[in-house]
């Protein structure tokens, strides 16, 4: 494994080239000044849009500002991600963020203005200027919110309350990121030291069970201690969401969350019900864990340790890239050629270096190209991360190439499809080419664990969110006891009787930041299921599905996400894609137990 002490040591070809956005800081500054001037011009439209021509001028100018701001912000962000300690990059990001606030303030009048129009007035504007055809779908989509918008005075009041309403989320963020002190664990020399999050994820994979137990108990110490405070922030966040839904005349908080992307409620209900009707394979998986690990009682700290050991192998970056290209060959020649070009043209920042932002992401910049951040570690996880992020990058590439700016971005609901299709094709390729039975078992274990985390756990979270919001809507109390009782019940239900619950297990709700972004996590599971359905059909040689999938990658947000997926043959309003995904999991468990 390559360990780099500084960015200078990393080969040039493994660093992204930010000159593709701005060859110099002077050019960044020029665009920054240009946006400031244009933002002032946007502000002057407030109260001055009287006809179709005015409306077009405003929207056209706003799109130019958005495009330029995208470049300015992304350049600043990516410069900072290279080394988070670098003060110049930090000041650029700060400046860009302040500019974003100015743009928001200058354009904040527009939505209330638009929704204050009669439909007939909007239609007359559209007739007056044919150039508005480009913006038509977006205008009508915004107009859907009309029945959920309040009077101007009430809207202003709500906007002033914005900071107060987001307070529970910010408070939890401060508790969870700044204030929490985990318990202590024993290091190699027998000394006690405070547990960190980074240490925790590593220790959960440790073969020494006593180390896992010690880390698990230390990790939950602050969450148990602070259960009442955290319950108060979560309860407030849920109640705020429920109150806003009522104030805006939505039937429920869930339907308010689904409204924006026109996701039918049955998609959410289907996901939960179909999963709960097919939990048998999940129970077999926990039984299998218990059996393979040879423990009398399976505990929560036994759920992350690999079931197959001693077969890890180094996969250098060059080899990982070639393996990925071979695995994704079923997606066609053009897909592979673009992936090769992305590597050669330095769209990817590969190596972990001091101060570099952790994790991995893809950022698709319209009119330029995608930028992919990795912290490649030459192992199997890094190979999967590479395939995952390049799936996002290809989605960005195709959508940006084939869509105008207004519909080039894709929604979270479909975002995980492109990345997971790549992972399913990769695991299929690796299993087909496994050098030994033991390595095949190792791969099956890797995929089963990923399946559990991305699908089953997220569905369980989705049900927890639904039930807690329903309780708030019915005026029932939401406190630490209520959250713990519900969480414990669901945790047992989704994992089966082979798992023996511990006192700490029921406080799992206290550590999940996603619960402050209501009804978000279910999209990981729906995206995962849709991707499995598509990948399996592509692997079976279904040319029509392949063609439709590539068309989907090119479609950005040109239609609502459910409709885009239907064009690939996946209908998430029916239980079928969920059943297909669950039957694949059953096959994985079955094969692993036979091996």
327 with 387: CB under 8 angstroms?
A: yes
Q: Which two tokens stand for residue 446?
A: 């890797």
Quote the Cα angle for 586-587-590, to 5°: 85
Reported as type and span, the H/E element at residue 362 is strand 361-364
Q: Which two tokens stand for residue 254?
A: 């869930």
179 CB burial (10 A radius; 0-12, 13-18, 19+): exposed
Report d(CA 303, CA 404) in Å as an integer.
46
pLDDT in tens, the chain (595 residues): 556 889 999 999 999 999 999 999 999 999 999 999 999 999 999 999 999 999 999 999 999 999 999 999 999 999 999 988 888 888 999 999 999 989 988 998 898 899 999 999 999 999 999 999 999 999 999 999 999 988 778 877 887 887 788 899 989 988 988 788 999 999 888 899 999 887 898 899 999 999 999 999 999 999 999 999 999 999 999 999 999 999 999 999 999 999 999 999 999 999 999 999 999 999 999 999 999 999 999 999 999 999 998 887 889 999 999 999 999 999 999 999 999 999 999 999 999 998 888 889 999 999 999 999 999 998 888 999 999 999 999 999 999 999 999 999 999 899 999 999 999 999 999 999 998 999 999 999 999 999 999 999 999 999 999 999 999 999 999 999 999 999 999 999 999 999 999 999 999 999 999 999 999 999 999 999 999 999 999 999 999 999 999 999 999 999 999 999 999 999 999 999 999 999 999 999 999 999 8
Quote the Cα angle for 117-120-125, to 5°: 75
DSSP for 309-355, please give it: -S------HHHHHHHHHHHTGGG-HHHHHHHHHHHHTT-EEEE--TT
Alpha-carbon distances of 423 from 369, 417, 450, rounded to whole Å: 22, 10, 10
Q: Is 495 left (phi over 0), alpha (psi -120 to 50) or beta?
A: alpha
65 with 1: CB under 8 angstroms?
A: no
Q: Does domain 7-160 have CATH number 1.20.140.70?
A: yes
DSSP for 160-212, please give it: HTHHHHTHHHHHHHHIIIII----EEE-TTS-EEE--HHHHHHHTT-S-HHHH
Report d(CA 361, CA 249) in Å as an integer.
37
What pTM does this model have? 0.90
Reported as type and span, the H/E element at residue 275 is helix 265-277
**Which residue in 412, 397, 405, 360 sits closest to 381, CA to CA?**
360
**Catalytic residue IDs:** 389
Task: Give the per-residue pLDDT at 2.
Answer: 58
Q: Where in the chain is the domain with CATH 1.20.140.70?
A: 7-160
């Amino acid at each position: 494994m390559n360990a780099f002490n500084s960015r200078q040591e990393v080969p040039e070809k493994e660093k992204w080239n930010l000159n593709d956005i701005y060859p110099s800081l002077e050019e960044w500054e020029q665009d920054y000044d240009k946006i400031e001037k244009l933002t002032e011009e946007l502000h002057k439209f407030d109260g001055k849009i009287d006809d179709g021509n005015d409306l077009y001028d405003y929207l056209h100018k706003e799109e130019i500002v958005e495009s330029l701001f995208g470049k300015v912000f992304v350049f600043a962000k990516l410069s900072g991600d290279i080394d988070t300690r670098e003060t110049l990059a930090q000041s650029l990001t700060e400046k860009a963020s302040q500019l974003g606030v100015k743009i928001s303030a200058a354009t904040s009048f527009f939505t209330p203005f638009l929704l204050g129009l009669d439909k007939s007035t909007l239609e007359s504007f559209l007739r007056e200027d044919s150039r508005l055809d480009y913006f038509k779908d977006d205008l009508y989509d915004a107009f859907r919110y009309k029945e959920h918008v309040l009077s101007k005075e009430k809207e202003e009041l709500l906007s002033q309350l914005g900071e107060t309403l987001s307070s529970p989320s910010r408070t939890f963020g401060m508790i969870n990121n700044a204030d929490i002190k985990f318990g202590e664990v024993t290091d190699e020399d027998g000394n006690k030291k405070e547990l960190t999050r980074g240490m925790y994820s590593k220790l959960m994979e440790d073969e020494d069970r006593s180390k896992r137990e010690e880390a698990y108990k230390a990790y939950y110490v602050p969450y148990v201690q602070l259960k009442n405070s955290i319950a108060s922030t979560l309860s407030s966040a849920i109640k705020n969401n429920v109150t806003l839904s009522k104030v805006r005349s939505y039937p429920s908080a869930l339907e308010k969350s689904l409204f924006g992307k026109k996701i039918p409620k049955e998609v959410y209900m289907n996901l939960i019900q179909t999963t709960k009707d097919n939990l048998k394979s999940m129970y077999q998986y926990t039984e299998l864990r218990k059996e393979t690990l040879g423990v009398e009682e399976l505990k929560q700290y036994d759920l992350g340790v690999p079931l197959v050991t001693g077969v890890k192998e180094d996969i250098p970056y060059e080899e990982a890239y070639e393996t990925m290209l071979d695995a994704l060959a079923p997606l066609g020649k053009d897909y592979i050629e673009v992936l090769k070009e992305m590597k050669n043209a330095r769209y990817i920042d590969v190596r972990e270096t001091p101060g570099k932002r952790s994790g991995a992401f893809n950022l698709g910049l319209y009119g330029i190209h995608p930028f992919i951040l990795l912290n490649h570690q030459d192992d199997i996880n890094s190979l999967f991360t590479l395939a995952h992020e390049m799936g996002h990058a290809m989605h960005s590439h195709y959508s940006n190439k084939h869509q105008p700016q207004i519909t080039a971005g894709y929604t979270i609901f479909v975002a995980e499809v492109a990345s997971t299709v790549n992972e399913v094709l990769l695991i299929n390729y690796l299993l087909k080419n496994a050098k030994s039975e033991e390595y095949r078992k190792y791969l099956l274990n890797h995929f089963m664990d990923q399946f559990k985390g991305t699908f089953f756990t997220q569905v369980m979270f989705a049900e927890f969110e639904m039930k807690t919001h329903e309780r708030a809507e019915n005026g029932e109390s939401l406190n630490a006891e209520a959250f713990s009782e519900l969480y414990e019940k669901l945790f047992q239900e989704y994992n089966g009787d082979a798992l023996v619950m511990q006192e700490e297990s029921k406080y799992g709700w206290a550590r999940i930041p996603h619960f402050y972004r209501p009804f978000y996590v279910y999209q990981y599971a729906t995206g995962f299921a849709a991707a499995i359905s598509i990948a399996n059909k592509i692997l079976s040689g279904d040319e029509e599905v392949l063609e439709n999938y590539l068309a989907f990658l090119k479609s950005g947000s040109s239609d609502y996400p459910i409709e885009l997926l239907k064009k690939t043959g996946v209908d998430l309003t029916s239980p079928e894609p969920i059943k297909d995904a669950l039957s694949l999991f059953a096959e994985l468990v079955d094969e692993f137990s036979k091996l």
